[in-house]
Chain A
Amino acid sequence: MATNLRNYVIRRALLLVPVLVGVTLLIFAVSQLLDPYMRASLYITDPRQIRNIEAIIQKYGLNQPFYIQYFKWIEQVLQGNLGWSQSARMQVLNALINYFPATLELALYAAPLTIIVGIILGKVAAVKKDTAVDHLLRSMAIIGWSLPSFWLGIVLLAMFYGGLGIFGPGRLSTWAEALVLSGQFKTYTGLYTIDAILNLNGAVLLDALSHLVLPVTTLVIINVAVLMRVMRSSMLEQLNKTYVIAARARGLKEKVVIDKHVTKNALIPVITLSGLLTASMLSGMVITETVFEIKGIGYFAARAATQLDVSAVLGFALFAGTLFVIANLIVDILYAYIDPRIRLG
């Protein structure tokens, strides 16, 4: 049995390569929409190189046919050169690395919370189908799913920060930020909450957490809606199956039937969704980060888009696409781990 799993993992991992190639092709195709002068920004590592733009165009063959360009570009990408971002005033790759911890921190809290709450609510709604609880949850789900994320963020900010003066935008209050940037605070991960714990600094921890409340709430409200509905319909689908009747026929308590048998089967499609959700959170919640001024890669991308900083936007898209493909792989492996039937296929 274990070898089956291992073989499956190997097979799926190998598939990764062509898909990643496809992702790069797509980004490359988008870049072709720009004229060679604009595309030059994808290759330069220093703004002063702009003065020699003709040389750049020659060097990377920006006037030559697709396949030549593509290989030159891939060559650069694999060496870590994603170009220069004017909006961030640093190399694109560096910008991504710099801004990533903020996104990671946000996702760290938002993703597990969304998944757990979504699964629990979906289960409750399914088990109590057609009761008041179910209708309430389903209505909340439709509302959550229809809310524009930027608007929800604005409303929450207005109510709490504007109205009550708490939970402000950004990641830290000014005093905390000053402290963090000073020499007294050691930055291990770039995630302020973790670093605060490692520095045994409760005040900074609380401050960072309080700044996370609203953005996490926004993300959770919108994403729980989707997850909950999938979990609910998945459970309802399982509840009609013969093996559930068979389990009851063995004399098992209803609670055991639901928790042990139905839930595990119902979780399968939910896992895919959870994986995709986490991936989308890690690839930067563009809107949420912008509204709450959390300087993660989504914020970086949004600002780049506003300033038409093509290299940044494309670099970000490449990063996001790659992340998604990897996330899909992980989800597939998880899938195979849980459902033994998949390993053969």
Chain B
Amino acid sequence: MFSRKVIKEESPRIKELKFVLRRIRENPLSIAGLAIVIFFTIIAIAAPLLAPPITGRDPYMIPRYGYSPIPQPPSPENPFGTTQGQYDLYYGIIWGTRTAYRIGILVVVASILIGIVIGALAGYYKGIIDEVLMRITDIILAFPALILAMALAVAFGPGLDSITLALVLVWWPAYARLVRGEFLRITSEDFVEAAKAIGCSDFRIIFRHVLPNAIFPLIVMASLDIGSVVLTAAALSFLGLGPPEGYADWGQLISLSRNWIIGTAQNPFAYWHVWVIPGIFLFLFVMGWNMLGDALRDALDPMIRRR
């Protein structure tokens, strides 16, 4: 007789995970992206250490070093200088990182949760529920994000919470669509029929079978979205719909810099620190997350495609 060897294979999930990690490691862009993201995360977490707040005040309000509108260049007291109204730029940037993360994470997580609920309902129960929910998402998606967010923010009134809420309302449809698509695809596969046949409850099917498979595209989308959300939030702040002046928010800081890009007659770049520094931080933050999201998408692509 011929010999039979029983080979113990690793569980498929572990294999997939290792595969993904290796692909991420091999991609230089992802390393750079990861480095940038880690850098910003550290800053956000260490904000109270890096830029100690003044006791008794809201830490997100930037301390002022005077009232003159003319920005002052970097000095030992203000490492990045001050911007219009003598707000300390360094403090604003550091705590602005926290603001950026707050908005980014809040909006993305909330959108995902809402998206999962609505997408699951639509995809699982189909029929009328699906139609209605999908029409709603279609209409919201018919608008450019910034414009709809603007309209909502104006209606809510300016403020950080206002733009957060506006962004959540604008962002969830994309996730709902994604989840619904995955649901439709997976529930049409045979193993779900089989599970139903042996009597698995709906809930169990959703949790054990559908969600784990839908995770990958969701992760990719979320990581790519953090950058977009923060960008859009900054744009809204720039327009004055965000937190009030003096709040540690990058968009706010950039809008304060608008009057100073011309500089003085002698030196056109006299106030460079005012518009260069906040912009660079915002840009790097977004780029870091975009690179990471991109790398994740490339790495998870065979898994997404394989289906």
Residues of A bordering B, CB below 8 Å? 19, 22-23, 25-27, 30-31, 33-34, 139, 142-143, 145-151, 154-155, 157-158, 161-163, 280, 283-284, 286-287, 290-291, 301-302, 304-306, 308-310, 313-314, 316-317, 320-321, 324-325, 328
Complex-state Cα separation, A27 to B143, whole angstroms: 10
Contact B262 A162 (CB under 8 A): yes
> Chain B residue with minimal CB distance to A24?
B139
List residues of chain A with CB within 8 A of the CB of B254: 148, 150-151, 154
Q: Mark B235-267, 1 if CB is under 8 A from A, else 0.
A: 100111100000000000010011001110000
List residues of chain A with CB within 8 A of the CB of B239: 286-287, 290, 302, 305-306
Q: A305-B241, A313-B154 are in contact. Are A150 and B144 (CB under 8 A)?
A: no
Contact B294 A26 (CB under 8 A): no
Residues of B bordering A, CB below 8 Å? 29, 135, 138-140, 142-144, 146-148, 150-158, 227, 231, 234-235, 238-241, 254, 257-258, 261-263, 268-269, 272, 275-276, 279, 282-283, 286-287, 290-291, 294
Contact B148 A317 (CB under 8 A): yes
For this complex, 5 residue pairs linking A to B, each with C-beta atoms less than 8 Å apart, are A23-B143, A26-B139, A146-B227, A158-B272, A313-B154
| Least CB distance, B159 to chain A, in whole angstroms | 12
Contact B235 A313 (CB under 8 A): no
Complex-state Cα separation, A317 to B153, whole angstroms: 12
> Chain B residue with minimal CB distance to A287?
B235
Q: A33-B155, A142-B291 are in contact. Are A321 and B142 (CB under 8 A)?
A: yes
List residues of chain B with CB within 8 A of the CB of A150: 234-235, 238, 254
Contact A301 B269 (CB under 8 A): no
List residues of chain A with CB within 8 A of the CB of B147: 283-284, 286, 301, 316-317, 320-321
List residues of chain B with CB within 8 A of the CB of A25: 139
Q: A310-B154, A317-B147 are in contact. Are A23 and B282 (CB under 8 A)?
A: no
List residues of chain B with CB within 8 A of the CB of A321: 142-143, 147
Contact A320 B294 (CB under 8 A): no
Contact A148 B282 (CB under 8 A): yes
Prevailing SS type, chain B contact patch: helix
A-B pairs, top 5 by smallest CB distance, nearest first, are A146-B287, A151-B279, A22-B139, A162-B268, A158-B261
List residues of chain B with CB within 8 A of the CB of A305: 150, 153-154, 239-241
> Chain B residue with minimal CB distance to A318?
B151
**Residue of B139, B234, B241, B261 touching A23 (CB-CB under 8 A):** B139
Q: A146-B286, A314-B151 are in contact. Are A155 and B238 (CB under 8 A)?
A: no
List residues of chain A with CB within 8 A of the CB of B153: 305
Contact B234 A158 (CB under 8 A): no
| Least CB distance, B151 to chain A, in whole angstroms | 4
Complex-state Cα separation, A148 to B228, whole angstroms: 9
Contact A146 B283 (CB under 8 A): yes
| Least CB distance, B10 to chain A, in whole angstroms | 29
Contact A27 B151 (CB under 8 A): yes
Complex-state Cα separation, A26 to B158, whole angstroms: 20
Contact B261 A157 (CB under 8 A): yes
Contact B275 A306 (CB under 8 A): no
Complex-state Cα separation, A26 to B135, whole angstroms: 11
Give 16 new A-B contacts, CB below 8 A, not counting A19-B142, A313-B151. A22-B139, A147-B283, A148-B231, A148-B234, A148-B235, A286-B235, A305-B239, A308-B158, A314-B154, A314-B155, A316-B151, A317-B147, A317-B150, A321-B147, A324-B142, A324-B143
List residues of chain A with CB within 8 A of the CB of B138: 19, 22
| Least CB distance, A141 to chain B, in whole angstroms | 9
List residues of chain B with CB within 8 A of the CB of A325: 142
Q: A306-B239, A308-B158 are in contact. Are A26 and B269 (CB under 8 A)?
A: no
Contact A163 B29 (CB under 8 A): no
Complex-state Cα separation, A321 to B156, whole angstroms: 20
List residues of chain B with CB within 8 A of the CB of A301: 147, 150
> Chain B residue with minimal CB distance to A313?
B154
Complex-state Cα separation, A316 to B275, whole angstroms: 29
List residues of chain A with CB within 8 A of the CB of B142: 19, 22-23, 321, 324-325, 328
| Least CB distance, A324 to chain B, in whole angstroms | 6
Complex-state Cα separation, A287 to B155, whole angstroms: 19
List residues of chain B with CB within 8 A of the CB of A328: 142
Contact A163 B157 (CB under 8 A): no
Complex-state Cα separation, A328 to B144, whole angstroms: 12
Contact A148 B268 (CB under 8 A): no
Complex-state Cα separation, A317 to B145, whole angstroms: 11
> Chain A residue with minimal CB distance to B141?
A324
| Least CB distance, A100 to chain B, in whole angstroms | 15
Contact A146 B290 (CB under 8 A): yes
Complex-state Cα separation, A200 to B211, whole angstroms: 65
Complex-state Cα separation, A283 to B144, whole angstroms: 9
